[in-house]
């Protein structure tokens, strides 16, 4: 709760939270993780790929704390569509942020990806997709 009781208080609060979202990685991560629950339809455990792509397009813009190459995000979308992926699990949603933090470029993935690390299987598939393309 922000304790806002007037319109100017609310405007000030929104401005502070906007700055925090752009500068504070921990807060950005909290908002990112919370977004999964907001996107999720009731009585479902996964989100539709089209919804996920729309939100990832918003979350992975250069103005936010997690900076990735735009072609990396486009490659991820291309992979999802080419492979016929239709649903994204909460684990994949959460781990993708960590993955992009660790590997912000396609080259960093190619050079340093550890296939024995505990990434979701879909991320392993994405690594193989990048090697093939």
Query: What letter would DSSP give residue 88?
Result: E
Distance set, CA 14 to CA 19, 43, 46, 118 (Å): 9, 31, 30, 37
65, 25 contact by CB (below 8 A): yes
Asked whether residue 4 carries a pLDDT value surpassing 80, the answer given is: no
Q: For the segment 109-128, what is each residue's pLDDT rounded down to a tens digit?
A: 999 999 889 999 999 999 99
Q: Which domains does the chain have, with CATH numbers?
A: 7-132 (1.10.238.200)
Asked whether residue 100 carries a pLDDT value surpassing 90, the answer given is: yes
Distance CA 128, CA 20 (A): 36
The whole-chain average pLDDT of the chain stands at: 93
48 strand-pairing partners: 87
64, 28 contact by CB (below 8 A): yes
44, 89 contact by CB (below 8 A): no
Q: For the segment 55-81, what is each residue's pLDDT rounded down to a tens digit?
A: 999 999 999 999 999 999 999 999 999
Answering whether pTM is above 0.85, one says: yes
């Amino acid at each position: 709760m922000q304790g806002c009781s007037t319109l100017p208080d609310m405007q000030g609060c929104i401005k502070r939270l906007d700055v925090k979202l752009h500068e504070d990685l921990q807060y950005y991560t909290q908002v990112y993780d919370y977004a999964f629950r907001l996107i999720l339809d009731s009585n479902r455990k996964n989100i539709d790929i089209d919804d996920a792509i729309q939100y990832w397009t918003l979350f992975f813009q250069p103005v936010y704390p997690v900076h990735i190459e735009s072609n990396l995000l486009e490659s991820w979308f291309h992979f999802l569509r080419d492979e016929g992926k239709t649903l994204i699990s909460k684990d994949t949603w959460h781990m993708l942020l960590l993955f992009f933090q660790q590997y912000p470029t396609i080259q960093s993935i190619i050079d340093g990806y550890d296939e024995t690390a505990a990434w979701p299987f879909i991320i392993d598939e994405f690594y193989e997709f990048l090697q093939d393309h």
